[in-house]
């Protein structure tokens, strides 16, 4: 049996996915990127092999994506995360036309065609507004974990108003809300609103086509997903492990490429 690998080296985390000849996921892993992209890629790939229970030699072709894609000596091919998220999401949800990916360093909205091809996309501008980093900074300010944030937001009775989407300015707004003893849940809901406002603006720029899916680490945050559903007036599909969609796309590209090579 032949296997194919995909590695997505992102700003905060690195994911690896192994698929088999039938495009089924055999194993995956998520590790922190840390200071060295190559090490992170090696570690993630090693752990994914372990999860799949296969040897390195069984993997015939590897695709790399993400900001660190050029620092993956293991890879046979590099593809941008835009194309990978499109292909990965289309594989998981064949009827989707719109992918919202909110990663650590950037957020993007991709319009996907029938074959998983990118028809149009937009990304956030040169700032952390509307990205995972925004939530990460706020989580640390509020002393909650990223995982807790979604649940807390859903349990908020009201919503604090955060007017700025700039990470630095929003942080100082949070400081003043904390100083006024504003409930944590309400601040978190306000922050989730700020991020969804920012990203839904990008969605509107591209337009909503077909069903919508969210990928990337922020898709694990139910609070953000729920607000986004409200904002778009549409249900959003989220894969059980939304962080690996990019790596899955890279693995699917690797499989296609290996067919082309033969």
Partner 1 sequence: MGKKRRLRKESASLGPPLTSNRSLKELMATHYLLSRYAQGAMPVAWVTSGAPVEILRPFDFYTFYPENHGALCGAQKMGPELCAEAEEHGYHQDLCSYARIDLGHYFSGKTPVGRLPKPDLLFAANNICQTVVYWYKALAEYWKIPLILFDTPYNFGEISEVDISYMVRQLEEMIPLLEQISKIRFRYKRFRKIVGIAREASLTWGEVLSTMKARPSPMTIFDAFIHLAPIVSLRGLPAALEHYQGLLAELKDRVAQGVGAIKNERWRLMWDNIAIWYKMRDFSNLFAERGMNFVTATYTNAWTETIGYLDETKPFESMAKAYSLVILNNNLDHRLQLMERLIQEFQVDGLVIHSARSCKPYSVGQYDLRRLITERLQIPTVVIEADITDSRAYSEEQAMVRLEAFFETLEG
Residues 89-118 that bind partner 1 (CB under 8 A): 106, 117-118
Provide the minimum distance between the beta carbon of 126 and partner 1 in the complex, in angstroms, as a whole number.
Answer: 5
Q: Is 81 within 8 Å of 66 (Cβ atoms)?
A: yes
Q: Is 42 helix (H, G, I), strand (E, B) or coil?
A: helix
DSSP string, 180-240: TT--HHHHHHHHHHHHHHHHHHHHHHH---BEEEEESGGGG-HHHHHHHHHHHTS-EEE-S
The only residue of 122, 197, 226, 231 in contact with partner 1, by rule CB under 8 A: 122
Residue 209 near partner 1 by CB under 8 A:
no
Provide the minimum distance between the beta carbon of 121 and partner 1 in the complex, in angstroms, as a whole number.
Answer: 6
DSSP string, 56-97: GGGEEEEEEESTTGGG-TT-SEE--HHHHHHHHHHHH-TTEE
59-65/3-9 β-pairing = parallel
Residue 126 near partner 1 by CB under 8 A:
yes
The only residue of 51, 60, 120, 210 in contact with partner 1, by rule CB under 8 A: 120
Provide the minimum distance between the beta carbon of 86 and partner 1 in the complex, in angstroms, as a whole number.
Answer: 9
Residue 257 near partner 1 by CB under 8 A:
no
Residue 81 near partner 1 by CB under 8 A:
yes
User: Which residues are at the interface with partner 1 (CB under 8 A)?
Assistant: 67, 79-83, 106, 117-123, 125-126, 205, 207
């Amino acid at each position: 049996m032949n296997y194919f690998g995909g590695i997505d080296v992102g700003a905060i985390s690195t994911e690896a996915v192994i698929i088999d000849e039938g495009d089924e996921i055999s194993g995956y892993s998520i590790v922190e990127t840390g200071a060295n992209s190559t090490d992170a890629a090696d570690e993630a790939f090693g752990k994914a092999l372990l999860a799949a229970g296969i040897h390195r030699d069984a993997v015939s072709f590897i695709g790399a994506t993400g900001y660190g894609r050029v620092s993956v000596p293991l890879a046979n091919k590099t593809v941008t995360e835009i194309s990978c998220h499109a292909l990965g999401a289309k594989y998981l949800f064949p009827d989707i036309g719109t992918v919202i990916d909110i990663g650590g360093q950037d957020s993007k909205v991709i319009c996907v065609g029938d074959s998983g091809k990118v028809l149009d996309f937009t990304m956030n501008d040169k700032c952390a507004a509307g990205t995972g980093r925004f939530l990460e900074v706020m989580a640390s300010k509020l002393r909650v974990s990223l995982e807790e944030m979604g649940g807390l937001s859903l349990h908020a009775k009201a919503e604090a108003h955060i007017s700025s989407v700039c990470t630095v300015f929003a942080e100082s707004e949070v400081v003043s809300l904390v100083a006024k003893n504003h409930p944590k849940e309400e601040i978190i809901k306000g922050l989730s609103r700020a991020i969804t406002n920012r990203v839904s603006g990008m969605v509107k720029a591209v337009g909503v086509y077909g069903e919508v899916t969210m990928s990337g680490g922020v898709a694990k945050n139910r609070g953000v997903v729920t607000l986004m559903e409200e904002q778009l007036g549409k249900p959003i599909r989220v894969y059980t492990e939304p962080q690996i969609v990019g790596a899955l796309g890279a693995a699917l590209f690797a499989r296609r490429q290996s067919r082309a090579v033969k």
